[in-house]
Amino acid sequence: MTDDLINTEARQPTLSDLVRVPSKRAHSEFVPRLLRHGRDQHSREQAMVGDGFDLRTTADMGDGVFATRRFSHGETVMVGRIDRELDHNHPHASQVSEHRFVLHGGLVPKVNHSCEPNCGIRLNSSGAHDLIARQPITPGQEITFDYAMRNYAVEHFPAHCRCGSRRCRGRITGWQDLPAQRKADYHGFVAPYLIDIDNRRATTTSTSPTSGEATPQPA
C-alpha cells in the first residue's frame, strides 16, 4: 500500500484519489466510500433547504427558516414528518395528542416561535404537523408559528419571549395560558386536540363534584 493511499484513508476520498489507487481491491473499497460520502453530503444539503424555504441564521434568534418563494393564505408551507416518539415534553417536542409527544424531522424543529405568527398548525394524515400560511408570505420572510398552537403546556423556554412582534405576550406559553381572544384569532390554525382538552376540562369544571349535576355558568 502506498503512502498516498494511507493518507487518503484518514479523510473522505475524492475522484483524484481513485486515479492513484494501485490495485483493484483498493479501488473496490474506495468506490463505495466515495458514493456514500456523496449521498451523505446530498442528505445534509437537502436537510438545509426545502421546496420554498431554507435554513438561515437570524440576527438574535439563532437559526431560523425563511421563505424562498411566495406563499398564499391557506397554502401549505411545510409538510410535517414524525421522526421519532418521545417519552416526555421538551423544547423541541411537538404534542400530537393529549399524552403523546414526538420529534419532527426535517426543518420543522428549526422554525421559531412568534406571538404574531404567519403560519398555523394543521395535522396531516400521519398525525404530524403541517405549517399553513395564515397570511401571504413573501420571499425572504421568516416562517414562524406560535408554539401554543401545538402544545397545551410549554415549560422549557426562557422566561422572556424574544419574538419582537407587536403582539408579544412577554413569554412563550402553551395553549392553556392563551387569553380567549387569542385562541379565537387562531381558529382553524391550531391542533384540534388542544380544543378537545379545553372542552373536556370545561365540562369537568362545570360539573358539581358532589351531586354530579351541572353548575350554572355566568353568561
Contact criterion met (CB below 8 Å) for 154 and 174:
yes
172 in the same domain as 116: yes
- pLDDT band of residue 37 (cuts 50, 70, 90) is very low
What DSSP string describes 167-202? Answer: T--SS---GGGS-HHHHHHTTTSS-HHHHHHHHHHH
Pseudo-torsion of CA 154, 185, 79, 38, nearest 10°? -60
76 in the same domain as 42: no
14 in the same domain as 91: no
- Residue 212 domain-assigned (yes or no): no
What is the grid cell recorded at 37? 460520502
Q: Tell me the backbone φ, ψ of residue 15, rounded to 5 degrees.
A: -60, -35
185 in the same domain as 126: yes
pLDDT of residue 40: 41
Residue 48 has pLDDT above 80, yes or no: no
26 in the same domain as 124: no
Can you tell me the mean pLDDT for 121-125? 94
pLDDT of residue 160: 87
Can you tell me the mean pLDDT for 173-199? 94
82 in the same domain as 34: no
80 in the same domain as 29: no
- Residue 58 domain-assigned (yes or no): no
CB atoms closer than 10 angstroms to residue 36:
12
Can you tell me the mean pLDDT for 32-49? 44
Domain boundaries, position 152: 67-205
Residue 96 has pLDDT above 60, yes or no: yes
Residue 36 has pLDDT above 90, yes or no: no
109 in the same domain as 17: no
